[in-house]
């Protein structure tokens, strides 16, 4: 029996563990032991079910991610395999609307905006979000020639440089920064577009204009919807998907399906050593050790660095150069009849230029049906990010006060509305920043770890922070090791397929 030690029980580590179990179930002599430093599995995925303090129902509070991108297959595949596909929850798109704060006032995101590119003329022409000079500058995007890039050459450009070059500064400050930079909680002046949204670069080259590219993409989506309408009884396919009982339902089921008896929690891996038998020994924080034939390090990059350094300096140096920023989500529940503002929206984005502590707010109980009992409301605010790390020094009580007061000033929350309960979730160094040169760093990490037998790295710090990307990276790490052991993935039906 060959054993893989998996370090880290976030979705990437669990994705790896579940794949090893699938390989074992088709007769391969492989097993895993997973070690997670926290008492809880799931990493950044954390759902708390809070009983309604003033009634019968319950609130479903996601402290980290609240959804995944529907178009990416990995989470659906796992949901299907673990029997929770029917628990997937689409957004309530009948109430889909996003507000953007601009010069102190809320403006509705114009209909037809894809990423930061308008694709419908009338909503764009009539929005108060942009000034007329700003709109004219954005309209000129149609005529700006694409950047000359030699075939095979990587266009390393920041989000800021790209958006300003194509659409103008106003589009960056009022739309692209809060929308696109916000997904990564990143600074657009440092963020590598090739590492985060390569599709935008491809679109520029293919269509010569982003707006032309997005108009074509919108027409294709509309055409697909006409051709393949939702069948009666089928759930609508919305842009984002969650689970009826919150995102942790997914990682809980992954842990069950992989085998919790092979997972140790509340203990960290402090270091790795080679064994005389050619395998690996992981030394744990409680003084014990686990021996295995291979290791997958599925932790944050900064946690992987000291473990890897004795084995490969260059990988460790590349890991140090993946900066991570801290953030927090603060959820506050209210009685619906007290809030005093229109709840028919998914949330509010606050551009950096507005100088607010709040980066964004989600109207969780509007976006996701069933997140709050009838007559109650669940709102969640984000603070932190690379431009406001100081806020993370504040106590939980202060963070609640800050977000509550931002809800009053920005959303128009009634001054007398009393919180039913509050929850603060802190994510210290929880968001990797894909800065310029990120792809080269990841290539170096992959190339060098490919040369170290029985070692692989996985997780959201490398090739995508989105949950489906993290699952796939855990699975890829297992594939690397099984292939080294001469196991044919396709022959054993343990390669990844679309299951839905
Ligand atoms: C506030 C927030 C909101 C987000 N929202 C979304 C969203 O809506 N949709 C989306 O797709 N993505 C979202 N993301 C990103 C996504 O959550 C992450 O990219 C993803 O969860 C990372 O998974 P992971 O398994 O790579 O890492 P993690 O979840 O960080 O897991 C790594 C694990 O390794 C453990 N560990 C570290 N060191 C050791 C050690 N020495 N020994 C043992 N264990 C160790 C840690 O305790 C941790 O549990 C969000 C992130 C944050 C912070």
The residue-averaged pLDDT of 353-376 equals 96
Q: Which of 5, 37, 65 to mutate to test the pocket of ligand 1 (most atoms within 8 A of CB)?
A: 65
Q: Is 192 in the pocket of ligand 1 (CB under 6 A)?
A: no
Express each pLDDT in 407-456 by its tens digit. Answer: 999 999 999 999 999 999 999 999 999 999 999 999 999 999 999 999 99
Q: Give residue 271 CA to ligand 1 midpoint distance, Å.
A: 20
Determine the pLDDT at residue 493. Answer: 76
> Which residue has the least CA distance to atom 13 on ligand 1?
65
Task: Look at 221 and 270; give whichever has higher pLDDT.
Answer: 270
Q: Assign 500 a pLDDT band (cuts: 50, 70, 90).
A: very low
Average pLDDT score over the chain: 94
Determine the pLDDT at residue 489. Answer: 84
- 378 beta partners: 333
Determine the pLDDT at residue 150. Answer: 86
Q: Is 67 in the pocket of ligand 1 (CB under 6 A)?
A: yes
Determine the pLDDT at residue 234. Answer: 84
> Which residue has the least CA distance to atom 26 on ligand 1?
459
Q: Is 44 in the pocket of ligand 1 (CB under 6 A)?
A: yes
Q: What is the pTM of this model?
A: 0.95
The residue-averaged pLDDT of 291-317 equals 98
The residue-averaged pLDDT of 388-393 equals 94
Examine the pLDDT at 341 and tell me if it is beyond 80: yes
> Which residue has the least CA distance to atom 33 on ligand 1?
8
Q: Is 11 in the pocket of ligand 1 (CB under 6 A)?
A: yes
Q: Which of 5, 43, 324, 468 to mutate to test the pocket of ligand 1 (most atoms within 8 A of CB)?
A: 43
Q: Is 18 in the pocket of ligand 1 (CB under 6 A)?
A: no
Q: Which of 16, 37, 44, 442 to mutate to test the pocket of ligand 1 (most atoms within 8 A of CB)?
A: 44
Express each pLDDT in 136-176 by its tens digit. Answer: 999 999 999 999 988 878 888 999 999 999 999 999 999 99
Q: Give residue 16 CA to ligand 1 midpoint distance, Å.
A: 14
Instruction: Please give the biggest Cα pair distance in the chain.
Output: 71
Q: Is 263 in the pocket of ligand 1 (CB under 6 A)?
A: no
Q: Assign 230 a pLDDT band (cuts: 50, 70, 90).
A: confident
> Which residue has the least CA distance to atom 8 on ligand 1?
65
> Which residue has the least CA distance to atom 2 on ligand 1?
64
Determine the pLDDT at residue 497. Answer: 61
Examine the pLDDT at 499 and tell me if it is beyond 50: no
Lowest model confidence (mean pLDDT) among 162-171, 180-189, 351-360: 180-189
Q: Assign 232 a pLDDT band (cuts: 50, 70, 90).
A: confident
Domains and CATH numbers, the chain: 2-42+250-322+434-484 (3.50.50.60), 47-95+323-432 (3.90.660.20), 111-144+158-227 (1.10.3110.10)
Express each pLDDT in 98-146 by its tens digit. Answer: 999 999 999 999 999 988 899 999 999 999 999 999 999 999 999 999 9
Q: Give residue 50 CA to ligand 1 midpoint distance, Å.
A: 22
């Amino acid at each position: 029996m060959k054993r893989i030690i998996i370090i880290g029980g976030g979705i990437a580590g669990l994705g790896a563990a579940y794949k090893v179990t699938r390989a074992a179930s088709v007769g391969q002599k492989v097993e895993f032991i997973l070690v997670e430093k926290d008492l809880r599995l799931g990493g950044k995925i954390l759902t708390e079910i809070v009983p309604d303090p003033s009634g019968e129902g319950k609130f479903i509070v996601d402290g980290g991610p609240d959804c995944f991108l529907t178009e990416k297959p990995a989470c659906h595949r796992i949901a299907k395999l673990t029997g929770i596909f029917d628990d997937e929850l689409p957004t309530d798109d009948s109430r889909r609307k996003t507000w953007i704060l601009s010069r102190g006032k809320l403006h509705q995101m114009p209909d037809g905006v894809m990423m930061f590119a308008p694709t419908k003329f009338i909503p764009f022409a009539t929005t108060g979000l942009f000034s007329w000079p700003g709109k004219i500058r954005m309209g000129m995007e149609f005529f700006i020639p694409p950047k000359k890039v030699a075939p095979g050459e990587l266009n390393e450009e920041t989000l800021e440089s790209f958006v300003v070059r194509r659409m103008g500064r106003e589009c960056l400050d009022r739309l692209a920064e809060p929308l696109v930079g916000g997904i990564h909680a990143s600074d657009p002046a440092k963020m590598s577009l090739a590492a985060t949204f390569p599709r935008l670069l491809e679109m520029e080259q293919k269509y010569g204009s982003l707006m032309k590219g997005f108009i074509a993409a919108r027409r294709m989506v509309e055409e697909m919807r006409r051709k393949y309408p939702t069948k009666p009884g089928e759930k609508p396919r919305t842009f984002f998907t969650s689970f009826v009982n919150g995102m942790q339902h997914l990682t809980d089921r992954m842990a069950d399906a992989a085998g919790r008896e092979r997972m140790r929690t509340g203990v960290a891996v402090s270091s790795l050593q080679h064994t005389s038998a050619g395998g690996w020994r992981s030394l744990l924080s409680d003084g014990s050790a686990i021996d295995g034939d291979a290791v997958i390090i599925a932790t944050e990059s900064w946690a992987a660095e000291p473990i890897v350094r004795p084995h490969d300096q260059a990988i460790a140096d590349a890991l140090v150069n993946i900066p991570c920023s801290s953030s927090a989500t603060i959820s506050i529940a209210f009685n619906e009849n007290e809030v005093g503002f229109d709840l028919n929206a998914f949330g509010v984005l606050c551009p950096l230029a507005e100088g607010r502590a709040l980066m964004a707010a989600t109207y969780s109980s509007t976006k996701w049906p069933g997140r709050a009992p009838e007559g109650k409301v669940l709102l969640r605010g984000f603070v932190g990010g690379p431009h406001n790390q100081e806020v993370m020094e504040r106590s939980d009580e202060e963070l609640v006060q800050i977000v509550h007061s931002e809800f009053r000033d920005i959303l128009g929350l009634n001054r007398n509305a009393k919180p039913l309960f509050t929850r603060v979730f802190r994510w210290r160094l929880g968001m990797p920043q894909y800065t310029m040169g990120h792809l080269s760093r990841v290539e170096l990490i992959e190339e060098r770890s490919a040369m170290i037998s029985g070692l692989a790295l996985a997780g959201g710090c490398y090739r995508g922070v989105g949950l489906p990307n993290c699952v796939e990276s855990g699975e890829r790490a297992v594939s690397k090791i099984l292939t080294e052991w001469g196991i044919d993935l396709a022959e054993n039906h343990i390669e990844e397929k679309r299951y839905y």
